[in-house]
Structure 1
């Protein structure tokens, strides 16, 4: 296969006139700061939705309250975030006394619906961390409450805003491979990141809904957005064959374990000052153990998952999630009637291929580019032409491929900025991503094909323009 065309692009150029390179609106008034409250003061809440907002949007936003069931974490959250607002263990009292403009929900996944629904009932809009919720009944309750109250729910899907996924979206819009018929999407978690889910509350399905919901909701949302259609049916397989009870030894937790010399997954929480202060020093309030043994028998989620999804526009998807890979990365390919578009990130041998190709084609590629600049790649191939296009996208060094900052800019800095590729995610998007994982879990448990329309009143549409 020969390369026909080399296209060099920056992140901004790749997205054209989209949200990624729009100037910040000058209409935001510093005199009227948006009042925020945060419920759930763990790592994600206090950092991404806490300290980041204080540091980057403090001119236009203000935290007026923090809420958690753990009073120790609340005090630490104030210090870490750099705020001096009241703290609460009573959510209703916080809303009544602070009168916020927006509630930010970052609690345990299975409790998201409680705060989302109650906030809307009390007349406040909501921004929630993904996943929206963990089962179909809770999803329906959110749908019903949003309709009844007229309030709005935003779901914090940051991957959509990443430079590479945005560039893929732009390329697909040009239809270079004709009508898309199927997608292959495979995500690999390494033995550090993947294993860590099994130490935490995420390893228990009554709290996380399994990684098909907690983690894969990110991936399913990307599929829904890139395919631009709704899922109609799901069939899945999954098992717990590595973590949990699948080991000959287990300890109380990593701090109190007789097997630290033989366990390849031993994690010393004392080496992380923040984790130690946030969790270990506050265990006495709620009993949450952050460095739990990942071999404990309470673990009841899947560590390998494979999902087949059929969409309303007849696109078929093959998806997998592995939690104990030697590397962390992903591969995606869109198969069309006229060709194939594929991309990847952090696959070791592909990275080496890229280095070798850069050396092989040094003369051709030498356009004064920074040798330290890291690029991602999109390959576009035609079914009847051995030549191919390779598009280079400047890789962002920001969180989630640069998506974190762009998501927060859209929410806080300029909500009305142009959004031609519909990066902003609504509650419907939150439902339709979580519901794939919920359906997949149900398919595994009940060993059957699950129809999406069985689960909520949202009816799947061939296109997402609904």
Structure 2
């Protein structure tokens, strides 16, 4: 494929606009041929922000009838991924779905079957696979530096995750739960680092312990309720969690665009209706004996993913934010530390690497390194973790995958 790749972005929120569209606009081998969103005003605002002028459509059907495309990038709310990807593939379009692939295993299986039937690329946007720090960690593991791996953990502190409770992510119906929306990133990293061992079972504990009405961090005045949004809240100056959108984001999410679809992006994170967790721990057991632990905490004073990988020859400790890896040999010897430089934007340079990988796949230069099948495995762990937390039991992965 020597000509520019003609791509459409479906879903023009912040991820579709400020990640994918922004990166694509800086490349000369791919261009945005169309934007698609159920809120056409938001799509037009996204085009203005990017300084481009592609046609805007409200449906995939309408878009495909009017624009010749090579593929689409889907960055809509998670629960819509299945139907939109199935529709795009019905027109024989290649698809990149930003994680997760879908919110349950059944939908993942249908997507995989459709892509195989039509011989199409169905790639999943696991951008952490493209993070230079984790790529180095993968090489360290593959080179046998740590010996036989038996334990891996990630402790993710993500203060920005509190804003999930202000947005569509706060509802299970939209995400399948945050073990899928957020955790699928990390479950895929485990699978990938460990060369995809067979998953046996999953257990998890999760709850909302802070971002609820009882957690409001200031005293209310008589007769004055917080909210409904941070922009309109009487307590802006008192609330340390006040979530005011930056000027660029406000061009996409404001009263004008909200009037089209009724979507309010920054509800009070304490008073909003929600049925997902603000913290939790999930444990995965693999057939080869490896145990994986993932903690995610959205009430925090910092933002970092802190990985530990233990093998019978040594231990690796990783700070993704600090871009550091420290290797400690088991029986003494030199402790080795690496600092891996990288991009300052787009998840530490991972997002541009993801787009680059997609372009290479579209040009036929390589195969996807994050396949739809990998996406299904991550969603399966996430779905099992959601079931475990809600039903208070250990979940055999065979309940979902077999």
Q: TM-score, normalised by structure 2?
A: 0.91
Confirm or deny: 8 A CA contact 2:158 2:297 kept in the other structure: yes
Give the superposed CA RMSD.
Answer: 2.2
Tell me the residue number matched to 2:201: 233
Larger radius of gyration: 1
Q: Does 1:189 align with 2:136?
A: no
* Structure 1: gaps spanning 5 or more residues: 1-27, 352-375, 458-466
Tell me the residue number matched to 2:349: 402
Confirm or deny: 8 A CA contact 1:237 1:443 kept in the other structure: yes
* Structure 2: gaps spanning 5 or more residues: 217-224
Say which of 257, 262, 265 aligns to 2:238: 262
Q: 1:417: Cα distance to partner?
A: 9.2
Tell me the residue number matched to 1:65: 34
Tell me the residue number matched to 1:199: 166
Tell me the residue number matched to 1:17: none
Deviation track 1:128-153 (CA, whole Å, cap 9, x = no partner) reads 11111112232222123223333221
Q: 1:124: Cα distance to partner?
A: 1.1
Q: Does 1:344 align with 2:319?
A: yes
**Count of matched residue pairs:** 392
Shift in CA distance, 393/252, structure 1 to aligned 2, threshold 3 Å? closer
Confirm or deny: 8 A CA contact 1:303 1:323 kept in the other structure: yes
Tell me the residue number matched to 2:119: 150
Deviates more, 1:210-219 or 1:79-88: 79-88
Q: 1:400: Cα distance to partner?
A: 1.9
Q: 1:177: Cα distance to partner?
A: 2.0
Q: Does 1:219 align with 2:186?
A: yes
Confirm or deny: 8 A CA contact 1:41 1:74 kept in the other structure: yes
Determine the C-alpha separation between the residues in 2 that align with 1:61 and 1:387: 46
Determine the C-alpha separation between the residues in 1 that align with 2:214 and 2:99: 29
Tell me the residue number matched to 2:251: 277
Determine the C-alpha separation between the residues in 1 that align with 2:88 and 2:212: 36
Q: TM-score, normalised by structure 1?
A: 0.79
Deviation track 1:293-317 (CA, whole Å, cap 9, x = no partner) reads 1112412110111011012322101
Confirm or deny: 8 A CA contact 2:162 2:278 kept in the other structure: no
Confirm or deny: 8 A CA contact 1:443 1:450 kept in the other structure: yes
Determine the C-alpha separation between the residues in 2 that align with 1:247 and 1:181: 38
Tell me the residue number matched to 1:318: 293
SS at match of 1:246: helix
Shift in CA distance, 377/55, structure 1 to aligned 2, threshold 3 Å? closer
Deviates more, 1:70-79 or 1:133-142: 133-142
Determine the C-alpha separation between the residues in 2 that align with 1:377 and 1:70: 42
Q: Does 1:130 align with 2:130?
A: no
Deviation track 1:67-86 (CA, whole Å, cap 9, x = no partner) reads 11112112112222333322
SS at match of 2:26: helix
Tell me the residue number matched to 1:460: none
Say which of 18, 24, 36 aligns to 1:53: 24
Tell me the residue number matched to 1:428: 373
Tell me the residue number matched to 1:107: 76
SS at match of 1:436: helix
Q: 1:116: Cα distance to partner?
A: 0.8
Determine the C-alpha separation between the residues in 2 that align with 1:136 and 1:159: 21
Q: 1:245: Cα distance to partner?
A: 3.7
Confirm or deny: 8 A CA contact 2:140 2:146 kept in the other structure: no
Confirm or deny: 8 A CA contact 1:159 1:401 kept in the other structure: no
Determine the C-alpha separation between the residues in 1 that align with 2:133 and 2:386: 29
Tell me the residue number matched to 2:65: 96
Confirm or deny: 8 A CA contact 1:240 1:302 kept in the other structure: yes
Deviates more, 1:144-153 or 1:323-332: 144-153
Determine the C-alpha separation between the residues in 2 that align with 1:79 and 1:314: 52
Deviation track 1:366-411 (CA, whole Å, cap 9, x = no partner) reads xxxxxxxxxx332222222254222333344342232222222222
Tell me the residue number matched to 1:389: 336
SS at match of 2:299: strand
